[in-house]
Amino acid sequence: MEHTTPPRLPAGLIWRARLAAMLDEGVQRTATLVCAGPGWGKTALVGSWAAARSMGGPVAWLTLDNQHDDAYAFWSDLYLALHTAGVIPRDQAVPGPEADDAEYRQALAAALVRRTKPVVVVLDDLHRVTDPQILGALTGLLRLRQARFVLVTRRESDLPLHRLRAGGELTEIRPADLGFRLEEAAELLALTGRSMPADRLTTMVRRTEGWSAGLRLLLDTPDPARADELVEDYLLREVLGTQPDEVRRFLLRTSIPDRICGDLALALSGEPHGQYLLEDLARGNLFVERTGTGRWFRYHPMLRSALRRRVARRWPDSPPSLHRDAAHWYDTDGAALPALTHAAAAGDWDLVAGIVVRRGLPLFTSADRTQLIEVLTRVPVDRLPETAEFAVCAVILCYARGDAAAVPRRIAAARELLAGRTDRAAADAAAALAVLENGTVIRWHGDMPHLLQRASDLLGELARLSWDQAPSLLQYRAMTLNNKGAALLWTGRFDHADRYLWAAVTAARTADVPYIEINSLALLAQLAFMRGALREAADHAAAAEDAAGRIDARGRVAVAPAYLAQALIEQERGREPEAEDRLRKALRALGEIPETTQSVLAGLIRVRLMLDRGEVAGARTLLGQVRAEAGPPLIAPQIDRLLDVTGAEIRLAAGDPGAVVMAYGARVVLAPAEQVCLARALLGTGNLPAAGELLARVRDGSDRVSATAAWILTALAADAQGRSSVASEALARALASAEPDLIRRPFRTFDTNRVMILAERQQWLTELRRPAGDGVLGEITGEIPIISPTPSAGPLSEREIDVLQYLPTVLTAAEIAENLGISVNTVKAHMRSIYRKLGAARRREAVVTARQSGLI
């Protein structure tokens, strides 16, 4: 009878409502599969659910064992289970002693067919039954509407459950469902009468992955060491103890890595059919599961720990050897970080150094940089001067620790150790040193002509190598293209920089070095800004930020140039708070040893922000500090031009146009921004014809920021000459140029009072392009137009009267808001309401109507 009644429920059982609900839903369909390895609480779950459900209808229970792989034992006991549950009436004749399995099967089916309500049939430990004939006949019973089967098993059944799954008639409860959640673990802990900190309980749940038996053992045993012993004993008995010798050996030797696949298993165990064995273990729910859809598997963390401890006791000398084998396999497979991790675990520092030389640099420019450095810090210090390979490790460590000044010395020492060597490892080390020097010394110090030459030479050398000669060839090429693109950018060769940076983006995606892709996109954003293409710059910066977000690298140095580009864009759009926010993000990302060109650019943004606030003396002082801090190693013509333009803007703001004429007047080739500065200076000294020639060239150029500025200066010059129609047309062209990119800064930089007068005049002559009032002209004049000027009834409110008093002035909405101590959006809302109530389409009309009505 013990087979045909539910087992006794263990003490300390908690009711798990979510799983009971899954079983309740499952028995509304044909079958429910509860499939998991030992200790997941399958039987306890179904037993407690069956006991709670017994009042709602009969539940027939059959616990199977090896004897039930015989047809007669299976069908006769299943018939007895139905009889015990009252499904078969007690007065119904039982097949006689001479009956065979067919008669029991027929009697059982006949009894089920006569039922008007379905009966639940629980088959516990179904994995014990493997006979195809029994399973085939059981498949027939699954088709009966009068039965609902709950199949409890350790491994996948050979029943054709795929048909039920496809038809939506199968409910599945697996380890992911059976695993205890934190709140359930807390309830289980309460039953023990013990208490523990929430973080410790969380760690236990994470460590056990909710595995019921492991969690209970840890909770029930106060001594952690003893608890681990009990867990290990349970697993080794339930998993290893049920397997043949060759499988036990396979599990022990393949427990060293965190993930395992057939090829790696072959390297560790010599088992040629490792992939099939792993698949079989996963199907058997023996704490082995597939990760993703590929070839990789993982062992449950507690099983892996138990196996590793057994390996250390059984074969004390084998763990280092197994780690070394794993390191070699991962190195050959191209997986640098696990290769380094296993080599370090083996204590094979020569292997560590060799892997670093072959594959370490891509890690150094990736999200795995921290783990790389952690491995390198474990290398004995006295070994670092021994070989060129160790010297490469020392260079990386030196730079990572912030000792940038010592990096060139370390690189020179490594090259001395390479002298005279012609082996392949020496070539790998030489290539690694060249890439390191370009990125951590030459580029970081800002010697851009030198970087351009070295990057060009290195690209030529890499082109002569094959992948088998340089395992990191694709990554090195992406890094070098990025370095050359940066060098071309800062030497002012924009067209070539654009081509190389896009090549770096493509190469980085191919080589799977996302930091290089991010940095290349960020530099493209800066390049687009310097060309005066704000929308293109914003798109590139957003792409860099999005790419960084996908790998959780928004605070890394690679994306910092994108933040600086965004700060410059926001400044040109007149959004000072947003520009300052982006600048702060950039400074955090740049870190303590920033790339010199980016550090200078960040300083220039601070100078420009100060200048825009009218702090001319402070801007001049800060610009001097930025120049001084850049230092003599910086050789970057484009940086020099940016510094000079900013200096020229400061001189113009200070009323010294003559100095700007002297600085730029003799130069043959000027960039658009430089031409604008010189034109402003010429206008300031009264040389209108020369200024006009410069402005004409800039107005027709592709630099939209400079073109907008040129049109504004043209308007101001024409107005000063009394040519009002020309001034009006020029301002209209300036507005049209500014609007697509939301350019605001030039309108606020030049003679703001005269720009305001011209804009007010423009307001009378043209219709605003944007009815919502967010256009450039609306911002200059403070106009907040409405779509329909139809008057609406109702007097002006007290606050609207306050706002109305400011409309005849030249104050903008923001300035009115500041005077009234309210937000600019509130002022705009009041202005729209005033326009609507007065039936005006714009500010000037509202003023006229208000005066006629005696409101002002």
Q: Identify the pLDDT of residue 422.
A: 87
Note whether 162 and 23 are same-domain residues. yes
What Cα–Cα distance (Å) separates residue 290 from each residue in 221, 260, 270, 347, 835?
Answer: 31, 9, 21, 30, 68
What token pair was written down for 293?
């859809």
- CA atoms of 156 and 34, how far apart (whole Å): 10
Give percent of the chain above pLDDT 90: 66
Residue 529 in domain: no
Task: Summarize the confidence of residues 207-235 as an average pLDDT.
Answer: 91
Query: Are 493 and 522 within 8 A, CB to CB?
Result: no
Residues 38 and 106 both lie in one domain: yes
| Nearby residues of 353 by Cβ (< 8 Å), 6 or more positions away | 379, 387, 389, 390, 392, 393
671-708: per-residue pLDDT in tens? 999 999 999 999 999 999 999 999 999 998 999 999 99
Looking at the fold, whether 386 and 431 belong to one and the same domain comes out as yes
604: left (phi over 0), alpha (psi -120 to 50) or beta: alpha
Q: Which residues contact 178 (CB under 8 A, 6 or more apart)?
A: 19, 34, 36, 40, 41, 42, 45, 210, 212
Q: Identify the residue whose tokens are 């050897």.
A: 321
Are residue 157 and residue 104 in the same domain, yes or no?
A: yes
**Where is the domain boundary, 318, 333, 348?**
333
Mean pLDDT of 35-61: 89
Give the CA angle between residues 654, 655, 658 to the nearest 5°: 120
Q: How far is CA 299 from CA 242, 245, 292, 397, 692, in A?
A: 17, 18, 14, 34, 76
N residues, the chain: 856
| Cα 339 to chain centroid, rounded | 24
Any residues with CB less than 8 A from the CB of 713 and at least 6 apart, and which? 676, 679, 680, 683, 691, 695, 750
Q: Is the pLDDT of residue 190 over 80?
A: yes
- List the CATH number of the domain containing 65: 3.40.50.300
Whether residues 27 and 161 fall in one domain: yes
pLDDT value at residue 632: 80
Asked if residue 764 and residue 797 are part of one domain, the reply reads no
Confidence of residue 261 (pLDDT cuts 50, 70, 90): very high
Shared domain check, 277 and 250: yes
Query: With bands split at pLDDT 50, 70 and 90, how would you rate the model's confidence at 5?
Result: confident
Asked whether residue 733 is assigned to any structural domain, the reply reads yes
CATH assignment at residue 204:
1.10.10
Q: What CATH code is carried by the domain that includes residue 728? A: 1.25.40
- Enclosing domain of residue 10: 2-178
What b/e readout covers 332-370, taking b as 16+ CB neighbours within 10 angstroms? eeebbbbbbbbbbbbebbebbbbbbbbbbbbbbbbeeee
Residues 310 and 385 in one domain: no
Secondary structure class of 98 (helix, strand, coil): coil
pLDDT digits (tens, 9 = 90+) for 479-533: 999 999 999 999 999 999 999 999 999 999 999 999 999 999 999 999 999 999 9
Phi, psi of 464 (to 5 degrees): -90, -5
What mean pLDDT is predicted for residues 447-454? 97
Would you state the structure tokens that stand for residue 353, as one six-digit string?
Answer: 């150094």
Task: Work out whether strand 288-290 and strand 297-299 pair parallel, antiparallel, or are unpaired.
Answer: antiparallel
Would you state the pLDDT for residue 764? 58
List pLDDT tens digits, range 120-166.
Answer: 999 999 999 999 999 999 999 998 888 999 999 999 888 999 889 99
Q: Which of 41, 14, 44, 10 is nearest to 189 (CA)?
A: 14
Q: Each residue of 741-787: pLDDT tens digit?
A: 989 999 888 887 788 777 777 765 554 444 434 466 666 655 544 44
Among 770, 790, 823, give the residue marking a domain's end. 770
Q: Would you state the pLDDT for residue 822?
A: 87
Q: What CATH number does residue 818 fall under?
A: 1.10.10.10
Please indicate, yes or no, if residue 461 is contained in any of the structural domains. no
Instruction: Tell me which of 660-669, 737-746, 845-854 is least confident.
Output: 845-854
Tens of pLDDT, residue by residue over 269-292, are: 999 999 999 999 999 999 999 997
Q: Are 314 and 252 in contact (CB under 8 A)?
A: yes
How confident is the model over 382-434, as pLDDT tens digits?
999 999 999 999 999 999 888 888 899 999 999 999 998 888 888 889 999 99
Residues 186, 171 share a domain: no
For residue 770, the model assigns a pLDDT of 40
Same domain, 35 and 72: yes
In a domain, 604, yes or no: no
Looking at 148, 178, 208, the residue that finishes a domain is 178
Nearest alpha carbon to residue 545 among 524, 568, 530: 524
Same domain for 37 and 173, yes or no, is yes
* pLDDT tops 80 at residue 66: yes
- 797: number of Cβ within 10 Å: 13
Counted domains in the chain: 5
Mean pLDDT of the chain: 90
pLDDT at 54 over 70: no
Shared domain check, 215 and 147: no
CA distance 294 to 633: 50
Residue 789 binned pLDDT confidence (cut-offs 50, 70, 90) = very low
